[in-house]
Amino acid sequence: MARRVELFVHVVWSTSRRRPWIRADIEGELHNVIGAKCVEHGCIPRAIGGMADHLHLLVLLDPGMPLTKLVAEVKGSSSHAMTHRLAPGTEFQWQRGYAAFSISPDDVAAVERYVLDQKRHHGARATDATFEPSEDT
């Protein structure tokens, strides 16, 4: 009997000291870097979104990929892209740590909308505190 594994994870992390380094003009390319790194490790990014000071990633995790490794790789490659290509001259860094939530396949569409609609949620102050980074995330 074939086994089917679907590990959907919603990951959230912040910029160092919650500085607003993710400008609108570089946000799309930053998301592309993050998505490409996920794919490189056999994971499928379902949604990437965020604000100037934090990022949300909804990903279908490859069962053989430890989440800690994926997040380290994604944060490392995106930080490198920020400091060398997207925002050179800044002291860009991600904060240490992250929050991660397993997502039921039945809830993927709703979480995907939440991730992609970050600017609207924050503008309307209609965020879900469960999925938003704290000062130490």
| Per-residue confidence (pLDDT) for residue 132, from 0 to 100 | 52
* Residues of the domain holding 34: 7-126
- CB count within 10 Å of CB 60 equals 19
**CATH code for position 100:** 3.30.70.1290
| Per-residue confidence (pLDDT) for residue 59, from 0 to 100 | 98
Q: What are phi and psi of 103, to 5 degrees?
A: -125, 130
In a domain, 84, yes or no: yes
| Per-residue confidence (pLDDT) for residue 127, from 0 to 100 | 46
The 8-class DSSP code of residue 127 comes to -
In a domain, 1, yes or no: no
How many independent structural domains does the chain possess? 1
In a domain, 75, yes or no: yes
| Per-residue confidence (pLDDT) for residue 118, from 0 to 100 | 83
In a domain, 135, yes or no: no
Per-residue pLDDT of 4-45, as tens digits, reads 889 999 999 999 999 999 999 999 999 999 999 999 999 999
Q: How far apart are CA 130 and CA 101, in angstroms?
A: 9
**pLDDT confidence bin for 3, thresholds 50/70/90:** low
How many H helices and E strands in the chain? 4, 4
In a domain, 69, yes or no: yes
In a domain, 28, yes or no: yes
**96: burial class by Cβ within 10 Å (0-12, 13-18, 19+)?**
exposed
In a domain, 80, yes or no: yes
Per-residue pLDDT of 46-100, as tens digits, reads 999 999 999 999 999 999 999 999 999 999 999 999 999 999 998 999 999 999 9
Task: Say whether pLDDT at 136 is over 90.
Answer: no
